[in-house]
Structure 1
Amino acid sequence: MTPFTTLTAVAAPLLIDNVDTDAIIPSREMKSTGRTGLAEGLFAPWRYVEGRVPNPDFVLNQDAYAGAQIIAGGSNFGCGSSREHAVWALAEYGIRAIIAPSFAPIFAANCIRNGLLPMVLPAEVVAQIAGQSVAIDLAAQTLSCGGETHSFAIDAEAKAMLLEGLDAIDLTLKFGAAIDAWTQTDRAARPWIYL
């Protein structure tokens, strides 16, 4: 994965509470089990009017937010099913961060595993930065916008995964030497396990 260190971009305003994974990527848009080919179906119920005719009222179809890398969202973003396809669709489209007052826990974990930053900030701050250019510094855990700087919390392991561009397997492999040492010790203590 691409490491996430800093990002400066406009925060596309999608200030809707309870945006569920079926709105992010409807099941009818999931035509494969892979991580690619999903961006076209991202927000399909809102992004298109008939077939694939772009809805001019939808934020990502507006010139000011074309190619958005950041979404300013509402509370409980990513609720609904645990489908990882929602995060895959966002990532393939080019979204690198979502800023919201809260996230569905499984969705937030899927974001981390796939290189997207789920940033929690108070609703009034999210509303204030929506539509504005923001600068995110993950190492410093800050978001700057319009001369103001806001701090955000993130779990240490999640932060390390994003900064280093690691998925869960890569993170485990960092402990390869310790795993090998434990296995050798266990093999000596319980040889019957390793027939």
Structure 2
Amino acid sequence: MAVDAVIFDIGNVLIEWQPERYYDGTIGPERRAALFEAIDLHAMNDRIDAGGDFQQTVYDTADANPQWRAEIRDWHDRWIEMARPAIPHSIELLKALRSKGVPVFALSNFGIGSFAFAETQYPFLKEFDRRYISGHMGVIKPEAAIFEQVEADCGLRPDTLLFTDDREDNVAAARARGWQTHLFRGAEGFADRLVEEGLLSAREAVLPRGPAAADLAVPAA
């Protein structure tokens, strides 16, 4: 089946998203494990991704757990240190697809405030033909409604959409809608898939070496 648009997740596809790694570096693995056992920070983040106010949601959670107040506030105050670095090869694939005239969309669980800030750090986030950001949509992956909204807005048949995401549940939900899917386990594997689909040549799918490649590594702070 022909592909009429390629849809990228953002976290761990275009930008590394590793809160645990951040906390391991700031408070150590043992305290990080205790923090995440005591408080479901990813559930807190889901509320932000569904449209909750970024700072208020984090600060309210911090105030409700005073023994971890400073650490939880970091989720807002030092968020960009959890959402870095960019993944250069994935960015190059995005740019290569656009240069070939292939429509490229973003579909990501991302808060309104956190995404607005991410745009200031990662200019390539403005390069999509369409952007579907869960905070603005009021629903998060893998709920079926978010995929339905994408279909209704873009007007393309589900079986002509090629979607890549690093989470198996999100990929399964898209596949259930009839989308073509790719479970992201690294940019090289997705590059191979784009070549297989005839969207890029093998040459176009390879990350450039030298200064050009360095230009793709957008600073995260």
Instruction: Tell me the TM-score range normalised by the shorter chain.
Output: 0.3 to 0.5
* Structure with larger RCO (C-alpha < 8 A, sep 6+): 2
Larger CA Rg, structure 1 vs 2 = 1
TM-score by length of 1: 0.34
Report the TM-score, using the length of structure 2 for normalisation.
0.31
Give the structure with the larger strand fraction: 1
